[in-house]
A and B are shown apart, each in its own frame.
Chain A
Amino acid sequence: MKSHLIPAAIGVSLVLALSACASDGESKGDNGSSADGDIVFGQLIGVSGDYAPFTPPANAAAEIAVEEINAAGGVLGKQVKLVIEDNRSTVDGAVAGFSKLTTVSNITVLGGMESDGQVALFDQIHQRELPNICPSCGTTFLDDKGGKFSFRITASDSDAGIIVAQVMRDANVKKLAMIVQNTEGASGPAEVAQEAFERAGGEVTSVSIEPGASSYNSEVANAFKSKPEALYLAAGVEAGLPILREIDRRGYDVPIFVSPDLITDEIAKVPNADQISAALTAFDTESPAYKSFAERFRAKTGGEPESGMYDANAYDQFIIHALAIEAAKSTKGADIAGKIIDVASAPGKKVYSFEEGKAALEAGEDIDFEGASSSLDLNEFGNLMSPLLSVLTIQNGAWVPGEQVEVDPSLRG
């Protein structure tokens, strides 16, 4: 190496740094707008990679929200522009995508991340004072850390895990087998479920799996070795499908409770679908916000909103952001973030669309946005106060919401 190269490289980067410091006008919390004057909403999401199946409906829902906002005159008199950035379902992709959204696209608010990226970017979100609502993050990391700039409008993995134990306990299951994929989204709820079920006096046999294996025969055999009365399968579709087919091939006729990631059309068509059930944050299908959203979602995608795909949540996140900007009368991150809980939660006039909320705010009223995914009342940590979960079963090749369940506090640790 010729020693002159390193100082030269360092010098170049220092010059770059200094010039960038001088030229980058963006400062903390002063989230601006695009070159054409629009306010930019960023959606950082796994367009490619493991989370890709979830993304098309989530993006369609986000577009519906932005169309609704713009149709009502935009926010603060400006049109809203949606920028979708692919995090490639990886952490380094999330870091790079976040950098692009914040420094190139100059976003005002951020939505759409998954748990891994949310955790990795949590500090940066706070440093930049960037309002962020996650429509699909279950990570327990946010249970007591959010509420300032990061918010979540879906159930925590803690609740998702407890509801598994609760349903099993209520069905008088004493021996439960678990097949759990080694990813945070799957193993997080499973660990909570195991602890809660054992606390309730049950016995658990757990088998870990990796996605992408050519066969899961031995894992299925191991899980059923203890002759369980029920099975909890926490996995993605890639692993979940072959496991369910193997269970069917072996003729194991026990109730199977699956994780939210498996609430998909493909799973609904497996031969043993009648054994399968799941719990998920429920959509309040009677809500005017849901009905209006569902109609537009059907028109845009040709399909029904699915709670397992978090599409109504993806819609709600941007309506809340827009209402918070209207309430704050500012595009500064801290101002917007300070209004998110206010516009989403009681007390206030119940509103079911951006237009209604904007009108009420202009009239000087407090509002409580009732979203398409739920009532969206948030606690001090930016989490749903009482996530409504419903038990879903498969009927005629489709997931059908059944009874709605509230978490039993006695099962919490």
Chain B
Amino acid sequence: MISIEFLTTIATLAFVYAMANQLLNIEAGWGGMWDLGIAGLIAVGAYSYVLLTTATDAYTPGLGLPVLVGMLGAGVITGLVALVIGWPALRLRGEYFLITTFAFAEILRQLIIINRDLTGGTFGLTSVTKPLEAEFTFEAYPYVRLVLAIVLTGVIWMICSRIATSSYGASLRAARDNEPLAMAMGKSIKTLRLSTYAFVGLLAGLFVGPAYAWFLGALVPSIFTSSLTFTIWAGLVIGGIGSRFGPILGALTLTAVSELVRLIEVSPQHANWLSAVHPLLVGVLLIAVLRWRPDGLLSERATFARLRRRYAPQRSSTGHMPRSHHHLRESGYERPNYLRLGDHRGLQDVRWPQGVA
């Protein structure tokens, strides 16, 4: 038997992961910043939101602010935290950046544990203010929460799409593929990366942290361990690093595989076996994707090939520039000069919109 409410709960979790996957895709997929600290940023966002919105007379008191103000506040706080982390961490490259962000995420978690008076320590925060909760019955609220998660995922998708078709996004990818050439174009790579990292932090606090808190109903530090980071990474790898829709598809696929296994009914004696199936399925899925779809279910190349087709100029009978071309120019999209150099394998592989040359 399948319950729609159960599927709704699982779908909500999947869309929360989809939000996080998209943010990781901005910094890791397009920016080349392999961040192992995304769980730390989500933790800051979730805790900030809950502390800003929890009633002043709660067990661990908050400020009692409205939900929207709480989300905005959480976004600003997490963005600032990301700025502070990014300042030293982004001076490092590759695995050093990876290890540093991993360490910062753990430091953030320890700070949450230590500051018991503020965060509830290991006891956590047990009261989460959820938007529109009072307007619906508890039976209906899971569906409302799902709609909210889908809307927020859609908002992040639009932001990501805007980045993908902007000169900002092109610069980000250029810095990833060939930093010296990107610098030669006059781009400030350091500023670009730091602003991206802070922007990802802002979105994590604004959307992901609150949505995750709504889903969980309580926060404890053990939620935000490296396993959350690895879950988000696994979803991104499965969906396709650098792809636009891949992060969402990856999150939905991974969560479905992980959670729908619960629908298999077994006797109590075989509960252990069923639990072992969960990591097995995730492992098999990862192996299968890496074996047959090494770029993920959807690839970055396909994403930008589609963009090229969409924005390619079609010569009109009047000789006017196509509308899409105008659109790109107006949005600041310029084909970077380095693309003509083509001395890097990664750049040769990228098929850029010919119409914007």
Within 8 A of A (CB), among B124-164: 124, 126, 138-140, 142-144, 146-147, 150-151, 154, 157-158, 161
Size of B's binding interface in residues, CB under 8 A: 56
Whether B143 and A16, one on each chain, are in contact in the complex, defined by CB atoms closer than 8 angstroms, is yes
Q: Please tell me if A76 contacts chain B, counting CB pairs below 8 Å.
A: no
**Residues on A with beta carbons closer than 8 Å to the beta carbon of B341:** none
Interface string of B111-125 (1 = CB under 8 A from A): 001101000011110
One of B34-42, B188-196, B269-277, B347-355 contacting the partner: B269-277
Contact across chains for A20 and B4 when beta carbons are under 8 A apart: yes
State whether the Cβ of A47 lies closer than 8 Å to any Cβ in chain B.
yes
Report B-chain residues with C-beta under 8 Å of the C-beta of A188.
Answer: 122-123
A68 at the B interface (CB under 8 A): no
Q: Please, which residues of chain A bring their CB within 8 A of the CB of B265?
A: 83
Contact check, A95 vs B139: say whether CB atoms are below 8 A apart. no
**Neighbouring B residues of A17 by C-beta, 8 Å:** 8, 140, 143-144, 146-147
B144 cross-chain contacts in A, Cβ below 8 A: 17
A182/B221 contact (C-beta < 8 A), A21-B139, A24-B139, A188-B123 known:
yes
Contact of B123 with A28 in the complex, beta carbons under 8 Å:
no
Taking a contact as CB atoms under 8 Å apart, the answer to whether B138 and A124 are in contact is: yes
Would you call B150 and A100 a contact (CB within 8 A)? Answer: no
Complex Cα spacing A379 to B13, Å: 37
Binding stretch for chain A, among B91-99, B210-218, B289-297, B324-332: B210-218
Residues 2-14 of A, flagged 1 when their CB comes within 8 A of B and 0 if not, give: 0101100110011
Q: In the bound complex, do residue A84 and residue B262 qualify as a contact, i.e. CB atoms below 8 Å apart? A: no
Chain B 188-208 near chain A by CB (<8 Å), digits 1 or 0: 000000000000000000000
Answer whether A183 and B222 are a contact pair too, CB < 8 Å, given A96-B9, A96-B262, A122-B126. Answer: yes
Q: Does A370 contact B (CB under 8 A)?
A: no
* Residues on B with beta carbons closer than 8 Å to the beta carbon of A261: none
Q: Are B122 and A99 in contact (CB under 8 A)?
A: no
CB distance from A403 to the nearest CB of B (A): 30
- Provide the bound-state CA to CA distance between A48 and B147, in Å: 31
Q: Is the CB of B126 within 8 A of A183?
A: no
Residues of A within 8 A of B123 (CB): 139-141, 184, 188
For residue A292, CB closer than 8 A to chain B, the reply is: no
B5 within 8 A of A: yes
Provide the residues of chain A in CB contact with B268, threshold 8 Å: 43, 59, 62-63, 82-84
| B263 close to chain A: CB less than 8 A | yes
When the two chains form their complex, are residues A10 and B151 in contact, meaning their CB atoms are under 8 A apart? Answer: yes
A128 CB contacts on chain B under 8 angstroms: 138
> How many whole Å from A27's CB to the nearest CB in chain B?
7
Beta-carbon contact of B272 and A56 below 8 Å: yes
Task: Decide yes or no: A14 and B147 within 8 Å by CB, A63-B268, A96-B9, A124-B217 being known contacts.
Answer: yes
Q: Is A86 interfacial (CB-CB < 8 Å)?
A: yes
CB <8 Å contact, A24 and B5: yes
Tell me if A35 is interfacial: C-beta within 8 Å of chain B.
yes
Closest to A181 in B: B122
> Which A residues are CB-close (under 8 A) to B10?
96, 99
Interface pair B223/A86, CB less than 8 Å apart: no
- Verify if A19 is at the interface (C-beta below 8 Å from B): yes
Q: Pick from A113-121, A281-289, A330-338, A344-352 the stretch touching chain B.
A: A113-121
A-side contacts of B274, CB under 8 Å = 47, 86
Whole-angstrom distance between the alpha carbons of A127 and B151 in the complex?
26
Please, which residues of chain A bring their CB within 8 A of the CB of B124? 116, 119, 184
Complex Cα distance, B136 from A14, in Å, reads: 14
B110 interfacial contact with A, CB 8 Å: yes
Q: Is the CB of B6 within 8 A of A59?
A: no
- Contact present for B13 and A92 (CB under 8 Å): yes
A184–B220 CB distance below 8 A = yes
In the complex, what residues of B have CB within 8 A of residue A182's CB?
110, 113, 122, 221
Contact with B along A163-187 (1 / 0, CB 8 A): 0000000000000000000111011
**A119 and B275 contacting across the interface, CB-CB below 8 Å:** no
Smallest CB-CB separation from A24: which chain B residue? B5
**Chain B residue nearest in CB terms to A89:** B222
Q: Is A97 an interface residue (CB 8 A)?
A: yes
In the complex, which residue of chain B has the Cβ closest to the Cβ of A56? B272
> Most chain-A CB neighbours within 10 Å: which of B2, B215, B259, B262?
B262
Residues on the B chain within 8 Å of A191, using CB? 116, 121
29 A-B pairs with CB atoms under 8 Å apart are: A1-B161, A3-B158, A6-B154, A16-B143, A19-B4, A20-B5, A21-B139, A26-B139, A47-B274, A55-B272, A63-B269, A83-B268, A86-B262, A88-B275, A90-B227, A91-B216, A91-B218, A91-B220, A95-B216, A96-B259, A99-B5, A100-B263, A104-B6, A120-B217, A139-B123, A141-B126, A187-B113, A188-B122, A188-B123
| A residues neighboring B (CB under 8 Å) | 1, 3, 5-6, 9-10, 13-14, 16-17, 19-21, 23-24, 26-28, 35, 43, 47-48, 55-56, 59, 62-63, 82-86, 88, 90-92, 95-97, 99-100, 103-104, 116, 119-124, 127-128, 139-141, 182-184, 186-188, 191, 208
